[in-house]
């Protein structure tokens, strides 16, 4: 009789232990959550990028700045990604440093069997630079830099729940605040900056995995690609103290030359880690 009772008791005990474990292995992902995230940002260097010029002020940056009395480009030394290490092309450029990002995330998921869909909103503070340099024959260096300061995103995500994990893809729109700057080793001409908009619009695409650590606590690892299109940023090169043979002020426009960077996009790769509290 004791053996029968003991066996029954053991069976009930094992069932009681197994049931929570089973429930824990297939969690319910439905409901709201809030999370904090941090990660690194890498600027997608455009090896072919350089500066472009508008000599006739028609708004089309399709002109060539030429040397006086020739048909040769005043920027024949070329361009490089990153910030100039000196005034001559031979000095080269440094690589844009790896940036950082910290964010707060709010989301809501709905689960249909093993399929999970949801929406997530994210506010981020960031610090990452995107620079390009062109060199003139003077020699002189001309450096344009974009710096991402903050970003807001609204994305959809869809995933598949398996055991304690949710594997997902995500995508949506993004808006960011961009700080533009310019520097040069040219001390003869004058330089006037025009910023039409310090905000950028774009999109994000990514993938990740969220892992249930406890009934209301999850750990997430994520890769996110961001494409932003900043507003126009133009530097007008004026006469300054330069002589009449200066390439920037040659006829037909002795007032100067508008200069901008050739790539309209800012592309970023992010690796993030985050913790979510689910309700």
| pTM confidence score | 0.85
Q: What is the pLDDT of residue 25?
A: 53
Segments of 163-248 assigned E as strands: 165-184, 190-195, 199-214, 217-230, 233-238
Q: What is the pLDDT of residue 252?
A: 84
Positions in the chain whose pLDDT score sits under 50:
1-24
Q: What is the pLDDT of residue 45?
A: 74
Of the candidates 262, 272, 271, 267, the one whose C-alpha atom is nearest the C-alpha of residue 44 is 267
Helix or strand (DSSP H, E) at 19? helix 2-25
Helix or strand (DSSP H, E) at 21? helix 2-25
Report the half-sphere exposure of 88 (CA within 13 A, side-chain side): 2
d(CA 103, CA 60): 38
Quick: pLDDT tens for 219-241. 999 999 999 999 899 999 999 99
Q: What is the pLDDT of residue 26?
A: 64
Name the residue ranges covered by the structural domains of the chain: 29-278
Q: What is the pLDDT of residue 48?
A: 81
Q: What is the pLDDT of residue 239?
A: 96
Q: What is the pLDDT of residue 47?
A: 72
Q: Is 113 left (phi over 0), alpha (psi -120 to 50) or beta?
A: left
Which CATH number applies to 29-278: 3.40.50.300, 2.60.40.1290, 2.60.40.10, 2.40.160.20?
A: 2.40.160.20
Quick: pLDDT tens for 115-137. 999 999 999 999 999 999 999 99
Segments of 44-164 assigned E as strands: 51-54, 78-81, 99-112, 115-136, 140-162
């Amino acid at each position: 009789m004791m053996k029968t009772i003991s066996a029954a008791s053991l069976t009930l005990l094992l069932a009681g232990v197994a049931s929570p474990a089973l429930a824990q292995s297939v969690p319910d992902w439905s409901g709201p959550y809030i999370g904090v995230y941090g990660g690194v940002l890498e600027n997608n260097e455009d090896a072919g990028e350089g500066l472009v010029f508008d000599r006739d002020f028609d708004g089309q940056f399709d002109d060539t700045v030429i040397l006086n009395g020739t048909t040769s480009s005043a920027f024949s030394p070329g361009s490089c990604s990153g910030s100039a290490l000196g005034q001559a092309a031979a000095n080269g450029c440094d690589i844009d440093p790896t940036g950082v990002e910290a964010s707060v995330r709010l989301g809501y998921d709905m689960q249909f069997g093993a399929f999970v869909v949801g929406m997530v909103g994210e506010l981020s503070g960031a610090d990452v630079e995107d620079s390009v340099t062109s060199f003139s024959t003077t020699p002189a260096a001309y450096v344009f830099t974009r710096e991402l300061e903050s970003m807001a995103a609204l994305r959809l995500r869809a995933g598949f729940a398996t055991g304690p994990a949710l594997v997902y893809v995500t995508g949506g729109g993004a808006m960011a605040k961009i700080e533009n700057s310019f520097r040069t080793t040219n001390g003869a001409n004058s330089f006037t900056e025009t910023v039409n908009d310090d905000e950028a619009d774009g999109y994000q695409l990514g993938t990740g995995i969220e892992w249930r650590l406890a009934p209301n606590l999850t750990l997430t690892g994520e890769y996110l690609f961001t494409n932003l299109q900043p507003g126009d940023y133009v530097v007008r090169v004026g006469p300054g103290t330069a002589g009449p043979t200066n390439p920037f002020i040659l006829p037909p426009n002795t007032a100067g030359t508008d200069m901008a960077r050739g790539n309209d996009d800012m592309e970023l790769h992010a690796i993030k880690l985050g913790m979510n509290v689910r309700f």
